[in-house]
Structure 1
Amino acid sequence: MIKTTLKIDGMMCGMCEAHINDVIRKVVPDAQKVKSSHTKGESTFISQQAPDENKIIAALAETGYTVQSVNTEPYTKKFLGLF
């Protein structure tokens, strides 16, 4: 699993967050846990494979948002130890 963090310029409100989440889900069909924050100016999601950064950047640019950076890193689930 891969965790992707996008720094995005142009988000102003909760509707912007929802719009960006929809775009990410369309461009990355296996995206899970898609979350955006206009206050932080970032979106995060988890996918099986590293996403095509250029597709995401182009899709968000078409809707008026500017991707400033894309960071991908391995994702491991955090389990709560039950003893």
Structure 2
Amino acid sequence: MIKTHLKIEGMTCQHCVSHVTEALEGVSGVASAKVNLQKGEAVVKSEDTPLEQLSAAVAAAGYKVV
């Protein structure tokens, strides 16, 4: 498993965290996603899922990877 750290802009509440978590965990190859509202980041464990795919999932959920 590979750990990828993503900085995410636009999250303001726990609902945002849930939305981003669901989006990331829906990406093929992702085993888990832990999203931290205070840090504005997510740690994704995956089988070498490309960063572009993870960023696209976050963008589709309405947030931005920076």
Higher CA-based Rg: 1
Kindly indicate whether residue 16 of structure 2 is the aligned counterpart of residue 26 of structure 1. no
TM-score, L = length of structure 1: 0.70
* Corresponding position of 1:45: 44
Partners of 1:31 and 1:24 in 2: CA distance: 9
In the TM superposition, structure 1's runs of 4+ consecutive aligned residues that sit over 4 Å from their partners are none
TM-score, L = length of structure 2: 0.85
Partners of 2:28 and 2:40 in 1: CA distance: 20
Aligned residues: CA RMSD? 1.4
Question: Between the two proteins, what is the percent identity of the paired residues?
Answer: 38
Higher fraction of helix:
2
Query: Any unmatched runs of 5+ in structure 1?
Result: 69-83
Given that residues 37 and 43 in structure 1 are in contact (C-alpha distance below 8 angstroms), is that contact kept between their aligned partners in structure 2? Answer: yes
* Corresponding position of 1:54: 52
Query: Any unmatched runs of 5+ in structure 2?
Result: none
